[in-house]
Amino acid sequence: MSRAYRIRVKESLKKVVRGHDRVSTQLEILEVLPCEQMAQLLEKELQGRGFERKGAKMQRKQNGVTVSIEPDTGIVTVSAEVSEKVALEGERETRSYTDVGPSAQKTKEALREQLREDLEKQAKDRETQLQTQATDRLEGELRGLRRELDEAVNRVTAESLKQKARQLGQIKEMTEDPASGSLTIVLEV
């Protein structure tokens, strides 16, 4: 009569999982002035809104979302990243008719491999949850950002029109309504 032995294995998995999402678009800015001047006006406006120069881009981070704008091209990139350290542990057991030798070793390795796959699947599931979290964070930030960028573009356009009007002649009258965004300039040429 043979005797059954209990074989038990334990495994742990520690890793950092990340979820990220990003979207890009381009600002629609009228080229009232040469590109360089329009880029300078946009940069100045963005600085007033909390953006900082990072190389060729203006960048702002808030609520886990990074907004990057290239003043020269008007390309806007919005990205969100969420990361988390996960520490998973698991234990499995089975029965075998030997507790030593190659057969027992193969049983342990098979059991250990099943456990590793299970832990990797759990980590992957957490990564999927973080991906959803990053997307939700990005979508939430985009709602307010769209309005803010539209306001910035309107202010840049208004300032460029004022500068262009000064180049063309003497300004006789100028009325501006910030609430509606209307701007009226009367020139004497």
Residues 36-60 have pLDDT tens digits of 999 999 999 999 999 999 998 999 9
Give the pLDDT score at 83: 87
Please check whether residue 22 is in contact with residue 79, taking contact to mean a CB–CB distance below 8 angstroms: yes
Please report, as a single letter, which amino acid is at residue 98: T
pLDDT tens digits, 56-76 = 899 999 878 999 999 999 999
Give me 21's structure tokens.
């999402």
* CA distance linking residue 131 with residue 134, whole number of Å: 5
Its domain, for residue 91, covers 5-188
| Mean of the per-residue pLDDT values of the chain | 87
User: Which phi and psi (to 5°) does residue 10 adopt?
Assistant: -125, 145
Give the pLDDT score at 105: 81
Contacts of 17 (CB under 8 A, 6+ apart): 83, 84, 86, 123, 126, 127, 130
SS3 158: helix
Please report, as a single letter, which amino acid is at residue 86: V
Sign of the CA dihedral with 100 first, then 105, 110, and 113 last: positive
Give me 24's structure tokens.
């890009």
Give the pLDDT score at 126: 93
Please report, as a single letter, which amino acid is at residue 75: I
pLDDT tens digits, 103-139 = 778 888 888 899 999 999 999 999 999 999 898 888 8
Number of C-beta neighbours around residue 102 at 10 A: 8
Sign of the CA dihedral with 147 first, then 148, 153, and 155 last: positive
User: Which phi and psi (to 5°) does residue 5 adopt?
Assistant: -110, 145
Total domains in the chain come to 1
99 pLDDT above the threshold of 70: no
Chain CA centroid to CA 45, Å: 22
User: Which phi and psi (to 5°) does residue 63 adopt?
Assistant: 55, 35
